């Protein structure tokens, strides 16, 4: 139910944006009633969307994302061969996640993408956790990243020439919960409202935990982006980036054109940026051009290293691309303002991007 605009100022009952009655009583002709004040306050609040990307891009030409979380956790000895992937560490070793976030901040990342990509209520409950325990773990991903950020920023020497980093709560696609690689195909066979039901409780939990914004990533099909945007409208102060996985230089994973998806997203003020992630670097320059013609929103790209994920062996095939950060500079020149790395990228890749982006 949308905002119900009062028909006149002396109307006795007003409703907030969820349609609940907020005040019942007499109105005065001399002073604005409390209900009118609530109305004005809610209207103002509704307009103010927390958008940390906009804040950074007002002062800096580019924003730097972090790199792979799982790759880094594995390099430090974590065993992630599990349907919960890096979310498994939320239970077993949150300290390791905190360290990786810290290292990405130290490398120059302007935000941490939380370890909630594969964390879902269904996934945790399938493991025997209660609903409340599952929500607490999802929220823990935000708390760990915020703790790492606060500790990093407490050191004054870390503050030179860069913005205060923020926490972007990862909202992985439905396919990540299936853990069968379908986030690179997008053929879920679910309706938009079923996808909304899947996404709503986690988005709600991440927002309630204090995430600065949502990072909706590796989305393989437009219908899932539409479901997410619909849920997002229930939290009118919150912004999100929407990032698709792409299969070539024009199309997202399920075959739709990235330009069509970006054009659809362009009209939603809560969508802070549009882009692609977990896609081979070779397609990125072309995809940026596709998106740039379809939207005025900032474009974000955080490709993988160029290796491809093999769901059968739950591992990576192929060779990593050369000189990730040099390619990243070309992406910036092609019009992407928000740049980082996805699977198989490292703090060294992010450090090399920061070297030219913050020079
Ligand atoms: Zn990835």
Give the CATH number for residue 344: 3.20.20.330
Alpha carbon of 126 to ligand 1 centroid (Å): 24
pLDDT level of residue 32 (50, 70, 90 thresholds): low
Q: How confident is the model at residue 39 (pLDDT cuts 50, 70, 90)?
A: low
- Whose tokens are 């209660």? That residue is 130
Under 8 Å between Cβ of 68 and 345: yes
Whether 172 and 103 map to the same domain: the answer is yes
Between 89 and 21, where is the model more confident? 89
Nearest to 138 by CA among 148, 124, 128: 124
**pLDDT reading at 43 higher than 80:** no
Q: Which domain covers residue 29, as residue numbers? A: 1-41
Q: What is the pLDDT of residue 1?
A: 37
Tell me, yes or no, whether 139 and 209 share the same domain.
yes
Mean pLDDT of 287-307: 95
Q: How far is the CA of 68 from the centre of ligand 1 (A)?
A: 7
Asked whether residue 5 falls in the same domain as residue 121, the answer is no
Residue 63 has pLDDT above 80, yes or no: yes
Say yes or no: 228 and 255 in one domain. yes
Put simply, whether the predicted model's pTM sits higher than 0.95 gets the answer: no
- Residues 285, 238 within the same domain: yes
Question: In angstroms, what is the span from residue 102 Cα to ligand 1's centroid?
Answer: 19
List CB-based neighbours of ion ligand 1 within 5 Å. Answer: 278, 304, 342-343
| Comparison of pLDDT for 181 and 293, the residue scoring more | 293
* Alpha-carbon distance values, 155 to 98, 168, 354 (Å): 16, 21, 19
Decide if pLDDT at 354 tops 80.
yes
* Rounded distance between C-alpha atoms, residue 196 and residue 176, angstroms: 15
pLDDT of residue 21: 36
Same domain flag for 197 and 233: yes
> How many domains, the chain?
2
150-165 b/e with 16+ CB inside 10 Å = b? eebeeeeeeeeebbeb
- Do the Cβ atoms of 222 and 264 come closer than 8 Å? yes
Percentage of the chain exceeding pLDDT 70: 85
**Whether 26 and 144 share a structural domain:** no
- Per-residue pLDDT for 65 more than 80? yes
**Predicted pLDDT of residue 33:** 57
CA 273 from chain center: how many Å? 10
Nearest to 109, CA basis, from 328, 335, 334, 316: 328
Distance 220 CA to ligand 1 centre (A): 12
Are 174 and 274 in a shared domain?
yes
């Amino acid at each position: 139910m949308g905002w119900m605009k009062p028909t006149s100022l002396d109307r006795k009952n007003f409703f907030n944006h969820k349609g609940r009655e907020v005040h019942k009583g007499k109105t005065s002709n001399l002073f604005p009633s409390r209900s009118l004040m609530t109305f004005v306050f809610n209207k103002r609040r509704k307009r103010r969307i927390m958008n940390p990307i906009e804040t950074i891009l007002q002062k800096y030409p580019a924003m730097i994302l972090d790199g792979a979380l799982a790759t880094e956790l594995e390099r430090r000895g974590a065993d992630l061969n599990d349907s919960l992937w890096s979310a498994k560490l939320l239970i077993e070793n949150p300290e390791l996640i905190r360290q990786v976030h810290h290292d990405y901040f130290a490398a120059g990342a302007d935000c941490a993408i939380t370890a909630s990509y594969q964390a879902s209520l269904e996934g945790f409950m399938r493991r025997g956790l209660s609903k409340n325990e599952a929500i607490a773990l999802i929220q823990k991903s935000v708390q760990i990243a915020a703790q790492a950020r606060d500790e990093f920023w407490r050191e004054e020497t870390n503050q030179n020439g860069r913005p205060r980093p923020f926490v972007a709560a990862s909202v992985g696609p439905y396919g990540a919960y299936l853990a069968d690689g379908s986030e690179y195909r997008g053929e879920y066979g679910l309706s938009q409202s079923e996808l909304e039901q899947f996404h709503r409780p986690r988005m709600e939990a991440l927002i309630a935990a204090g995430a600065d914004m949502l990072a909706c990533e590796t989305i393989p099909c437009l219908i899932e982006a539409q479901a997410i945007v619909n849920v997002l409208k229930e939290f009118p102060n919150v912004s999100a980036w929407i990032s698709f996985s792409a299969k070539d230089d024009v199309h997202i994973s399920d075959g739709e054109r990235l330009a069509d998806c970006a054009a659809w997203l362009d009209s939603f003020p809560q969508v802070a940026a549009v882009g692609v992630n977990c896609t081979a670097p070779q397609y990125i320059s072309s995809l940026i051009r596709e998106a740039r013609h379809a939207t005025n929103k900032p474009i974000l790209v955080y490709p993988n290293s160029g290796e491809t994920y093999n769901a059968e062996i739950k591992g990576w095939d192929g060779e990593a691309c050369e000189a990730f950060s040099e390619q990243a500079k070309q992406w910036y020149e092609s019009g992407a303002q928000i740049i980082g790395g996805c699977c198989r990228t490292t703090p060294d890749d992010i450090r090399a991007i920061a070297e030219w982006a913050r020079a």
